[in-house]
Amino acid sequence: MAEDDFRRWERELEPDVPDERPSGGRGLVLVAGLTATACAAVIALGDVPLGTAGLVLSSIILLLWRIGM
């Protein structure tokens, strides 16, 4: 469920309150690295269009994931 803006604003004024959910930054970097490595391997094996399409598609998915969509 989406959080209302007022609660987010209140939380910014209360520096002692810990964030309710941990950041998923490490998982995001791990997924991005594995995906890029796999697509680079596909390109190295000779299937350039498939590897390029995989890199583009995974980049779009990771971007949308990062911005919260």
Query: Mean pLDDT across the stretch 41-57?
Result: 93
Please answer whether residues 21 and 3 qualify as being in contact, where contact means their C-beta atoms are separated by less than 8 angstroms.
no
**pLDDT tens-digit series, residues 4-38:** 666 666 666 766 656 565 556 677 778 888 888 99
Gap between the Cα atoms of 2 and 37, Å rounded = 34
pTM for this model (two decimals): 0.56
What was the pLDDT predicted at 61? Answer: 82
As a whole number of angstroms, the distance between CA 67 and CA 19 comes to 18
Q: How many CB atoms lie within 10 A of CB 39?
A: 21
φ, ψ of residue 47 to 5 degrees: the values are: -100, 75
Q: Write the pLDDT tens digit of every residue in 32-44.
A: 888 889 999 999 9
Q: Are 6 and 22 in contact (CB under 8 A)?
A: no
